[in-house]
Copies of this chain bind each other. A is one copy, B any other.
Amino acid sequence: MLKICVMGLGYVGLPICLELSKKYSTTGFDINKLRVSNLKKKKDFNNEFKKQDFSNKKLIFTDKIEEIKSCNFYIICVPTPITKTKKPNLKYVKRCFDIISNILNKNDVIVLESTVFPGVTKNYARKLEIDNKLINNEDFFVCYSPERINPGDKENTLSKINKILAYEGKNKKIKKKLKDVYSKICRNLIFTDKIKEAETAKGIENIQRDLNIAFFNEILLICKKLNIEFNEVIRLAKTKWNFIEFSPGLVGGHCLPVDPYYLTYIANKKNYKSKVTLAGRSVNESMKSYALKTIYKRIKNLKKSKKSNIKICLFGLTYKYGVSDVRNSQNIEIFNLLKRKYKNTLAYDPFLKRNNFNWTKNKLNRYDLYVFLSKGKIFSKIYSNLKNKNKIVDPFFYYTN
């Protein structure tokens, strides 16, 4: 009988866990005790699931290895961040494989969903072989299935995405098992027998997006320098049949600012020094300082009396509109830097669990500057309601020209 263990209960793991527990006996495992205890109480502080989503399921949450010992189908959904020196940090993936190594049984299936650079999955499979004196794709089965969760996206939800399943073995029963399990999560499964290719595919999807946003950011910076209306440029360029529209802005989160460094790390090891990929990163990483400069310039132009005790209101704190996640949020960094200098800095983000203040109770005309850092409907409405447009700072031209 299939006993599933989902390791890592964040944005990727939890939805899979909840979905699979409708059909299979499923254990959600996380090393974060607080997260586990909240989930046991049917509370998701990521704000993605409600109490009723946890009901009536063959579902256990645990932080104890003891309780996943009897599982035979492991799905690893842990984060793969970067170190301070921007190298891949695989410690969470490593820890999962270490745990599995200690409780591995014959015929176990292990599916890695985390974003890694090409080669990682098979390296860990090899380690399992050595540690357990067993053979991958004979005694146990290590697969790769890149997650494609897009937080805040109501359209491309888990069930609708095309799910890649990379399995290099020949065992038809295992392939069927993979198909059975994953068809409960996603409608469309894309099989491949090439794991490195699947690992690379996942990376380049995000890098392409990061690079194209970087291009829009570069164009915005050039337009500012040349005193050209960015939005009019884009309006015109969009009329060409093959022009692709992106939005400029701060790039945060756990994917776009991270994934490029994974691919370039391994490429660099093989003596390929990436050119466009890291150039994209460099532009996007510079946008925080661009936004800050724009804000400081506006503060400088205020009257002296205002400057000393300026009241700033900032819109958009999470790493993108519509999500509650603040990991790698450049918005938060901007807020913190401003706050340090100007104690009357407040921020509003309806998607952040704990808001700095309740916007509706405040009066719109209380502030000296209104800074818009995110693009979305709610902020657009606030922008429209602001009477004194001279008080607005909109560094990415989301609402103004």
Contact = CB atoms under 8 A, between A and B. Distances in A.
Interface in A225-267: 225-226, 228-229, 232-237, 239-244, 263, 266-267
Contacts of A244: 208, 212, 244
A139 interface: no
Interface stretch (A58-66, A101-109, A195-203, A302-310): A195-203
A363 to B, nearest CB: 37
- The interface centre, meaning the residue of A197, A214, A223 with most chain B CB atoms within 10 A of its CB, is A197
Interface string A289-311: 00000000000000000000000
- The interface centre, meaning the residue of A237, A241, A277, A280 with most chain B CB atoms within 10 A of its CB, is A237
A239 B283 contact: no
A72 B241 CA distance: 32
- The interface centre, meaning the residue of A263, A267, A276 with most chain B CB atoms within 10 A of its CB, is A276
19 contacts: A194-B229, A197-B229, A197-B232, A198-B236, A200-B222, A200-B228, A201-B233, A204-B215, A205-B243, A208-B244, A211-B215, A211-B276, A214-B275, A215-B276, A215-B277, A218-B277, A225-B267, A244-B244, A279-B279
Given A207-B215, A212-B212, 17 more contacts: A118-B226, A118-B228, A148-B240, A161-B240, A162-B240, A192-B235, A194-B232, A200-B233, A204-B215, A208-B243, A218-B277, A222-B263, A225-B267, A225-B270, A244-B244, A276-B280, A276-B283
